[in-house]
Each structure stands twice: as C-alpha cells, then as structure tokens.
DNA sequence: GCTATAACTGAATCCTGGTTCATTTTTTAC
DNA sequence: GTAAAAAATGAACCAGGATTCAGTTATAGC
C-alpha cells in the first residue's frame, strides 16, 4: 500500500526545503569561492547530510535553483519598477536605481549573483548564460527604442547595453569587496550619470 | 661533492620551464573553469606529472605566475602606448584601443585574465586584488586630472573609473563567449565613445 | 496499538586530482 | 669509464568532499 502525505507533513517538508535553500544562500554568500560543502549547508539547516539529497538531486541542481531563484526575484523587482514609467530614459534610470538599491539591501543576493554566478557560469554546463543575455537585452531594447526615437547618437546597441551592464557588475563588485564606508548617494549618482551620458543622453 | 649545472642544462631547463608555462596557459585558456589538472599540463608539455613539481612549487604558485606574467605583459603594452600622447583624453583613448586590440589578438591572455582570473581571485588568498585595483587606479588618475583641468563634469572619479573598466570586462567577455562574427570596428568605436561620453567629454 | 511505508540519519564509499617518493635515467667531475 | 649527484619518471598516496545506503525513527492507515 502507498501512504499519502498529510498536510502537516507536506507543510513541514516545504518549510524544510525553504530552510535548506536559505541555509544554502547563506553559505554561498559567505565563502566567496565555489568551495562550499553540502555538509556545511546541512549543518546550517540542522539536518543530516543525507537528508539534503531527499530535497535536492545534487549540488549542481541546488546551485541552479538558488541562482534562478535570486535572478527571478531581481528581475521581478526591476520589472515592477519599470512599469511605473513610460519614458525610456525614466525606465532606464529606474532600473538602475532599483537594481543598485536591491543589491545594497540584499547583500546576499548581490554576492551570489555577482561573485558566485560568473564562476559557476563557466563551470557548469552553461545553463545560465541566458540570464546574462536577458539582462543585457533588457537594456538593449531600451537603447534601440531611444535610437528609433532619434534621442541618442548612432551606436551598436548591443555593445552599449553590454557596457552598461558591465559598469554595474564592476562597481557592485568593488563595493562588495571593500570594507570602507562608501558615500552611496554620490556613488550612485555618478554611476547613473555615467551610463546616461554613455548612451548619449542629450 | 656538489655538481654544477652546465650552461647546456641551464638552457634546457629554462626552455622547459617556459614550455610548461606555455602549456599551462593553453590549458587554462581552454577549459574555462578552474578545473584544469596538473596532469593535463604535464601531458601537453610532454613531461611526467612529477616533473612539474621540479619547476613549480604547486598549482597555486603556477597560477600566480601565469596571471602576474600576463598582467605585466598587458600593462607594459598599455604603458608604452600611453607614453606616445600628452593629452589625457588621448592617453585614455589609446589605452582603450591598445587594450582591446591586444585582447583580440591574444585571445589566450584575454580568456585567462578575464574569465579565469576573477574565479581564482576569490578562491585563492586575494593575492591578485591589487591587479584589479591597479587597472582601475590607472583610469582614475586620468579622470582626476581631467577633473582638475575642469574638462569633465564633477563626479566620483573612483566610481567612474570602476565603471569604465567594467565596460571592458563585460564587452570582452561577451565577445569571448560568442561564436558569431562581430563588426570589430563598429563595436570598438561604440565602446570607446561610450566611455568618452560616460566620463563627460565635452 | 500494530504494521507497512516513508523520512531521516551519518558513517562508509567513491572519485577526483594534487602531491610525493622510490626508482630509473642523465649529467657531472675526475 | 665510473661513481656521485641531479633530474626525471609515473605509480602510489592522500585529502576533501559529493554521494550512497543500511539502519533508525516517524508517519499513515487500519
């Protein structure tokens, strides 16, 4: 006979699954390299190492889920913010603003997406390259529209969009690695202005 | 009694050391992740794995030497090119130009410095963070000078310099990963213009 | 309460790949 | 040519960590 799970058990398992994911994010955000162990995650989640494998197929699958998870979260935040504006420049500016602020607020997310992600991106079968492209294409579409509206000088929109995203990665990474206090307000403005000028806002 | 190496042996060993380094660079540039094995390097260099350890203390030391090596090479090229100009804008433009062209020509160097380097940067005790900072400071000094000369609008020069370098990494990385043909001329111009406008060239 | 099934445990297994070292080959110095 | 020293070899060793699985505990259904 096959037993069915009760709601109570289902709820407990769902909770544990989330607990493991949370522990994984913590661990991943802590030790910068791709060196974390399943054992450390299990420990942090308060389970036996074997139990981990009842919830996730293997390490690779876990990483994939964590990254997709965080990425989806970030993307949703950006999309929501963009929806508030109609002018493309405003959309762009809003994207930048919310992106920076989210990363500043959710350091864990920033660390995993910015530091960890590029590593695994090359290690694991490139399941994630699309994420990179997604983000760049996002910006590219805005630039294309601005080009169509003749509001910025001619340029290779893909290259510009790539450069645009690159400024973020680099700046956020430098912030993640630094201990010193940063004047966020000024830094943020500089970054936004840099890219606005970069694409050629008149 | 202690024997002395003859010139012939010294020469042979020097040659072999270089051969191992070359093999290492090849292997590192090939498999994108930090997953290469000493065995594969030894094989490519035509030696036994044990022999590797007669020439390099261990894997970490090898990586350090390779990265420092390539970085020094790149830096020398940039410095030489910069020396040809006096105006800061020209220096900046020249740096960009020679950097891109070098990376395009020496794909191996690009792959190791751009893909591989960030990985190990976090993995290994941060012996390399200074490289990152060096490069950014390079640009920062130019920006500071332009600010002093009142030729660009007020900005946080460190953030701008970081953003500047970021555009390169991102764009070069996208080129390294793409299979498609790229119109280098246009792409290159877009990238240079992006940064020139970005810092606020009037 | 009782038994079949499912969930959990953590020690044991397995694999990968860096590093070592006893042995073999080459070089030195006479 | 020969014996001591150095260099080279590659199989064996070893560590770390992912994954498994036999044994234990909890749950389901009656």
How far, in Å, is the CA of A53 from the C1' of nucleotide D30? 32
Which residues in chain A have Cβ-Cβ distances shorter than 8 Å to B113?
A: none
Judge whether A23 and A41 are in contact, CB under 8 Å: yes
Judge whether A124 and A63 are in contact, CB under 8 Å: yes
Rg (CA), chain A: 20
CA triplet B74, B166, B125: central angle to 5 degrees? 70
State the pLDDT confidence band at B59, using cuts at 50, 70 and 90: very high
Q: Which domains does chain B have, with CATH numbers?
A: 1-56 (1.10.10.60), 59-198 (1.10.357.10)
List pLDDT tens digits, range B100-117. 999 999 999 998 988 777
Rounded-to-integer distance, Cα A83 and Cα B123, Å:
39
Which residues in chain B have Cβ-Cβ distances shorter than 8 Å to A33?
A: 119, 122-123
Report the percent of chain B where pLDDT is more than 70.
94
Tens-binned pLDDT, residue by residue, of chain A (202 aa): 889 999 989 999 999 999 999 999 999 998 767 789 999 999 999 999 999 999 999 999 999 999 999 999 999 999 999 999 999 999 999 999 999 999 999 999 999 988 777 766 666 556 677 787 888 998 999 999 999 999 999 999 999 999 999 999 999 988 887 777 778 888 889 999 999 999 999 8
> What mean pLDDT is predicted for residues B41-70?
95
Give chain B's contact residues with A (Cβ, < 8 Å): 32-35, 115, 118-119, 122-123, 129, 132, 136, 153, 155-156, 159-160, 162-171, 174, 177, 183, 186-187, 190-191, 193-195, 197-200
Tell the burial category of B2 from Cβ atoms under 10 Å away from its Cβ (0-12, 13-18, 19+). exposed
Burial A74-91 (b: 16+ CB within 10 A, else e): beebbeebbeeeeebeeb
Question: With the C-alpha atoms ordered B144, B146, B148, B151, is the resulting torsion angle positive or negative?
Answer: negative
Q: Which two tokens stand for residue A43?
A: 């420990």
How far, in Å, is the CA of B50 from the C1' of nucleotide C24? 14
């Amino acid at each position: 006979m096959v037993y069915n799970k009760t709601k109570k058990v289902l709820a407990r398992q769902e909770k544990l699954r989330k607990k493991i994911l949370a522990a994984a994010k913590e661990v991943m955000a802590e030790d910068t390299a791709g060196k974390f162990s399943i054992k450390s995650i299990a420990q942090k989640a308060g389970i036996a190492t074997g139990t981990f494998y009842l919830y996730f197929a293997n390490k690779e699958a876990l990483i994939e889920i964590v990254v997709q998870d965080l990425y989806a979260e970030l993307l949703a935040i950006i999309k929501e913010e963009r929806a508030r504006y109609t002018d493309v420049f405003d959309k762009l500016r809003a994207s930048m603003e919310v992106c920076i602020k989210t990363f500043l607020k959710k350091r864990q997310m920033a660390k995993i997406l910015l530091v960890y992600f590029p590593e695994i991106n090359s290690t694991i079968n490139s399941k994630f390259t699309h994420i990179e492209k997604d983000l760049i294409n996002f910006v590219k579409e805005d630039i294309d529209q601005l080009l169509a509206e003749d509001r910025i000088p001619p340029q290779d929109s893909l290259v510009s969009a790539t450069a645009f995203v690159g400024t973020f990665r680099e700046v956020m990474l430098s912030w993640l690695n630094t201990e010193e206090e940063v004047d966020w307000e000024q830094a943020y403005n500089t970054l936004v202005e840099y890219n606005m000028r970069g694409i050629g806002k008149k």
